Amino acid sequence: MNNTEKLKIKMEFKSLTSDTKIPVLGLGTWSMGGGRVRDTTYDEENIYAIKTAIELGMTHIDTAEMYGDGHAEELVGEVIKDFDREALFITTKVSPENLRYDDVIASAKRSLKRLKTEYIDLYLIHIPNPQIPLQETMKALNFLHKEGLIRFIGVSNFSVKQIKEAQENSQNKIVANQIEYSLLVRNKGNEYINNMESEVIPYCQENDIMVIAYRPLAKGKLTRPGFKILDKLAKKYNKTQAQIAINWLISKKKIITIPKSTRIEHLKENIGALGWRLTSEDMRMLDKEFK
Ligand SMILES: NC(=O)c1ccc[n+]([C@@H]2O[C@H](COP(=O)([O-])OP(=O)(O)OC[C@H]3O[C@@H](n4cnc5c(N)ncnc54)[C@H](OP(=O)(O)O)[C@@H]3O)[C@@H](O)[C@H]2O)c1
């Protein structure tokens, strides 16, 4: 019996486009294979975690050329070569310093090689770079799409203005914006993204752009007891704080998420955020009281 059968939790999906669905819960890979620098120390644990996550149904894997200076992609590649590629959804990102036309194409080809795959499902501009015209970057992304090397084009850490500019310069739809968003981080994000709840998310919801919430557990802060409402709801639903925090995200329209974990017990716990829903009253309470 595999883990999925044991857990008896089925993955839930949302529509990315009219004919493509994406799991509401994927796996983040930041810090697997190093931070900004390649580190092979924990390769075995990381490979086992990625493989287990896929077996548990987290078939959306989020990575980036930046993570571990490419090593996170190598770890993902090592795992996905043994799976049915069509059953997986692989997202990776081009770094802000590589947004010139030729650099985007070279980056994508390097990512494909490290990922040991023929195509990337979703290719994101990791962080906007005002020094490089978006028009040039979008032209390269559209070329990669035409060549069949990427299935979908998306952005990350983009404001409404930047999404509009990207879309105006793209023949293909911008299908996703990956942004920081969690119970603890609502409007005041980080150096790259702000106004998520007041501007960016409503715009994405209205324009059929999937919001991929990163740092959904606020890097682990939301997994520990100490926030009164979270503790109260955890008790009420017989769930953990992490499960409540993830359920709050995926209960919202056009939002999916990608918590990172290398611990098997945490992966199983996170998938336990699926298959049930917070009531709309409790959603409203979380919305209000966490502000
Ligand atoms: N586009 C961007 O600019 C951007 C920026 C940041 C992140 N991201 C993406 O988003 C992903 C998620 O963000 P993140 O990794 O920064 O933060 P996160 O997912 O909010 O938190 C990850 C931390 O939480 C711990 N954790 C996970 N599940 C847990 C559980 N059930 N109980 C206790 N601890 C738990 C993990 O430790 P263990 O491994 O020990 O479980 C890890 O330390 C990244 O991995 C990356 O793929 C994108």
The CB of 151 under 6 Å from ligand 1? The reply is: no
The CB of 123 under 6 Å from ligand 1? The reply is: no
The CB of 241 under 6 Å from ligand 1? The reply is: no
Residue 172's pLDDT band (boundaries 50, 70, 90)? very high
Kindly give the number of the ligand 1 atom that is closest to the alpha carbon of 270. Answer: 31
- The pLDDT score that the predictor gives to residue 290 is 83
CATH of 3-221+255-277, one of 3.30.1360.30, 3.20.20.220, 3.20.20.100, 3.40.50.300: 3.20.20.100
The CB of 157 under 6 Å from ligand 1? The reply is: yes
The CB of 219 under 6 Å from ligand 1? The reply is: yes
Q: 179 CA distance to ligand 1 centroid (A)? A: 13
Q: What is the mean pLDDT of residues 154-170?
A: 98
- The pLDDT score that the predictor gives to residue 7 is 60
pLDDT in tens, 115-138: 999 999 999 999 999 999 999 999
Residue 11 pLDDT exceeds 60: yes
| Choice from 217, 224, 262 to test ligand 1 binding pocket (greatest atom count within 8 A of CB) | 217
pLDDT in tens, 196-229: 999 999 999 999 999 999 999 999 999 999 999 9
CA-proximal residue: ligand 1, atom 14 (nearest)? 215
- The pLDDT score that the predictor gives to residue 6 is 54
Residue 115 or 289, more confident: 115
The CB of 35 under 6 Å from ligand 1? The reply is: no
Kindly give the number of the ligand 1 atom that is closest to the alpha carbon of 178. Answer: 1
3-state secondary structure the chain: CCHHHHHCCCCCEEEEECCEEEECECEECCECCECCCCCCCCHHHHHHHHHHHHHCCCCEEECCCCHHHHHHHHHHHHHHCCCCHHHCEEEEEECHHHCCHHHHHHHHHHHHHHHCCCCEEEEEECCCCCCCCHHHHHHHHHHHHHCCCEEEEEEECCCHHHHHHHHHCCCCCEEEEEEECCCCCCCCCCCCCCCHHHHHHHHHHHCCCEEEEECCCHHHHHHCCCCHHHHHHHHHHCCCHHHHHHHHHHCCCCEEECCECCCHHHHHHHHCCCCCCCCHHHHHHHHHHCC
| Choice from 223, 261, 262 to test ligand 1 binding pocket (greatest atom count within 8 A of CB) | 261
- Summary mean pLDDT of the chain: 96
Q: What is the mean pLDDT of residues 137-155?
A: 98
- The pLDDT score that the predictor gives to residue 8 is 61
Residue 4's pLDDT band (boundaries 50, 70, 90)? very low
pLDDT in tens, 59-68: 999 999 999 9
- The pLDDT score that the predictor gives to residue 289 is 86
Give domain limits for the chain: 3-221+255-277
Kindly give the number of the ligand 1 atom that is closest to the alpha carbon of 31. Answer: 45
The catalytic site residues sit at: 67
